[in-house]
């Protein structure tokens, strides 16, 4: 018979865990033994519980043997306090009451543990699978690619209500301890109710809680995580999200694709050049069009100036309205194609991109050249390998457009300098955003 202390704990637990449909409390008897089990069946694996606890219970004869069994089992730990026990039960552990002892048995059911294919950061060559939505599986994927004793894994909880389990990984040989400390401190201070995925931390990074540039890299690729670990980065894994956060992040990381190391040297260099060109094109081009065509047409060659002037004849609005109109249309198209069901997606882009552009030009709302520029901007925006960063550029181009509308070519230059100045100011956990080299431990 259980002692009074155990009964008190049992009753207290039962009252704290308000009666719900999936809360299970079972008693099991044999001649000599008496066992009580408390768990939530929707998040606990009953098969595991049966195999590891119930079956041995009936197969063992002496009460001492079973107690020894329980105490030596790897997944069973002793009860510490009530609050912790409640937390664990809510995560899928079972409470075992046996004789004078209370144990917690880890029989969490791990759903969503299928490894997903990469969909955002796709590469032509190299590994094609990403993370799963399960934390232990993700950790396993990383360990698989990074089998080193120096890999440190720590875990913490973030989110006032969600209490999401978060793991911090770094290689103690390469990572800067100061940075690691800063990141841990940051995670401890995050003021958020529900943490569902690492991307939510973007805004928390800045004091004002309003960030424009992503100062952390969110990736779905275990290979990228492994490579970054070896570069001394710190990885944050969030339970339930197939994305890992890589910290600290500089612009170079945001502009790099895993393809850079899977392709041969010159091809990788060419692709990088292409990416930085696309970055500038998609940021500056709309503003440049307004500035050149309305302020400084002497920059064009005379042929182009005349052909733009020709294609703009009969367009009722000034160039910046024309650009805004077309850009707005393009943004709607991009947003719509994300939301649209997969079956309709391609149709919508074709209809929107080709027909709408052509129709706008024919209706005299925009010039032919404008259609070319808008599609150029849209396409080059998608060359940026990290999605979060390409969104930033999508917003930045309006800033340049505004300045160029007001000040012409000077505005474009001014805007570009302002953006660079802002980027220079940014830092990610002590790492300057525009730095080209990763800092090594011991160097400050």
Q: Which residues bind other proteins (CB under 8 A)?
A: 293-298, 302-303, 305-315, 318-319, 405-408
Minimum separation from the CB atom of position 396 to other proteins (A): 18
Cα 295 to its chain centre, rounded Å, is 42
Vertex 370, ends 368 and 371: CA angle to 5°? 70
Cα 430 to its chain centre, rounded Å, is 21
Collapsed DSSP state (helix, strand, coil) of residue 168: strand
Torsion of CA 54, 58, 63, 66, to 10 degrees: -50
Beta bridge partners of 93: 106
């Amino acid at each position: 018979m259980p002692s009074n202390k155990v009964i008190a704990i049992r009753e207290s637990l039962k009252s704290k865990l308000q009666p719900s449909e999936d809360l299970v409390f079972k008693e099991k008897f044999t001649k000599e033994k008496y066992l009580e089990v408390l768990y939530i069946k929707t998040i606990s694996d009953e098969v595991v519980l049966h195999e590891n606890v119930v079956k041995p219970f009936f197969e063992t004869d002496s009460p001492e043997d079973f107690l020894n069994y329980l105490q030596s089992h790897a997944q069973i730990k002793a009860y510490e306090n009530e609050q912790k026990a409640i937390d664990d039960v809510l995560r899928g552990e079972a409470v075992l009451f046996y004789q004078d002892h209370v144990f917690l048995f880890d029989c969490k059911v791990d759903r969503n543990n299928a490894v997903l294919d990469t969909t955002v950061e796709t590469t032509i060559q190299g590994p094609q699978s990403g993370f799963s939505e399960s934390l232990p599986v993700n950790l396993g994927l990383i360990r698989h690619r990074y089998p080193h004793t120096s890999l440190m894994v720590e875990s913490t909880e973030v989110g006032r209500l969600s209490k999401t389990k978060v793991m911090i990984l770094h290689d103690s040989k390469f990572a800067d301890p100061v940075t690691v400390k800063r990141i841990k401190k940051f995670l401890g201070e995050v003021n958020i109710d529900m943490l569902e995925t690492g991307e939510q931390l973007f805004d928390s990074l800045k004091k004002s809680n309003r960030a424009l540039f992503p100062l952390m890299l969110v990736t779905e690729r275990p290979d990228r995580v492994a490579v970054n670990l070896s570069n001394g980065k710190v990885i944050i894994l969030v339970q339930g999200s197939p994305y890992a956060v890589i910290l600290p992040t500089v612009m170079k990381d945001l502009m790099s694709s895993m393809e850079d190391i899977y392709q041969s040297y010159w091809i990788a260099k060419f692709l990088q050049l292409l990416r930085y060109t696309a970055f500038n094109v998609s940021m500056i081009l709309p503003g440049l069009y307004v500035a050149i065509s309305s302020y400084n047409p002497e920059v064009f060659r005379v042929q182009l100036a005349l052909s733009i002037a020709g294609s703009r004849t009969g367009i009722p609005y000034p160039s910046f309205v024309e650009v805004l109109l077309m850009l707005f249309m393009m943004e709607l198209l991009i947003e719509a194609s994300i939301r649209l069901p997969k079956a309709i997606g391609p149709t919508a882009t074709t209809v929107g991109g080709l027909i709408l552009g052509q129709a706008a030009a024919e209706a005299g709302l925009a010039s032919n050249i404008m259609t070319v520029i808008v599609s150029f901007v849209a396409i080059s925006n998608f060359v940026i390998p990290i999605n979060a960063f390409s969104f930033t550029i999508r917003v930045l181009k309006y800033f340049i457009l505004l300045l160029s509308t007001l000040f012409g070519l000077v505005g474009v230059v001014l805007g570009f300098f302002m953006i660079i100045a802002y980027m220079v100011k940014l830092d990610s956990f002590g790492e300057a955003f525009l730095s080209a080299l990763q800092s090594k431990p011991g160097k400050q």
